[in-house]
Structure 1
Amino acid sequence: MTFSSTNEDHLLFDAARKGDIDYIKERIAAGADLNITDGRGFTPMIIAAYDGHEEVTRLMLEAGADVNAQDGGGNTALMGVCFKGYPEIAKLLVEKGADLNLQNGNGGTALMFATLFGRNELVKLMKELGADTTIKDIKGLTALDLAYQQGNEEAKEILQ
């Protein structure tokens, strides 16, 4: 990944944040690097997914954005959408090759994010798609352990 430095790069990040598909199409046609990163390690695709822009996310993935790109903390777009609660974008990311079991710097996974933030539809989806429920974070906790900590009865049912 390359750290962004040009005005066009900054505009690309803004367009991803706003879901400006027309501008992103122009930048792709002009050969924009979709795997550039900002100061926090976010790529434009991570931002678009995190902000709920499904069609922009799809466009960037189809144009070569790295579906498993990790930000400065090791978080992926899939982790972000599991935190925010966007099941349709999660499905898209997995269809495009997102690694369900990739761990961030704290050992967290997309399934753990969904569990921690009560996104039970995504807990179910991640499990159905094959997320490993036995992975432990740096504290030695699994997604099920996190469900117990959160008092999330529905997630406990799903994960057992």
Structure 2
Amino acid sequence: MIQPGEAVPSVPVKHVSASGASDVDSAALLGEGRVVFFTVPGAFTPTCHKNHLPGFIDNAAAIKAKGVDRIVCGAVNDYHVVTAWAEASNALGKIDFLSDGNGELARAMGLEKDLSKAGMGDRFVRSALLLRDGKVEAVYVEDAPGVTTSGAASILTALEASQG
């Protein structure tokens, strides 16, 4: 698993934002300024859709007020699904999305989880990372179902602690 001090891997991904979807390099997308990058097992899946993403949407302004330049949600889904999820959640303009359609970034970061038993294949684990200029400052990985350490409230607390 990626550790503090390590650089974000460079793999091709899709960036989904208010201006549409585009091909980008993960290191370029996540490599400028201070970034909160949270990862979810799947767009529209119950916990991701009802518990994880909404916290970041609701707290986007507060998170950015703590010196964060960009909030990015990563999912191992094709960019059409990620785009539909971003639009349905009214998240565009507050949060950017990273579509890791083939799971290359999840594997490169060591943040992949085999959900084949649920018919989903390899996905991101539920996590959140604090990044600064493409380097990992902190990694928060959920060790049980639900959203605790990787949720917006926990990230706000971590950001407040890092400012003090």
What TM-score comes out, normalization by structure 1 length?
Answer: 0.24
Which one has a larger percent helix, Structure 1 or Structure 2?
Answer: 1
**Structure ID, larger Rg:** 1
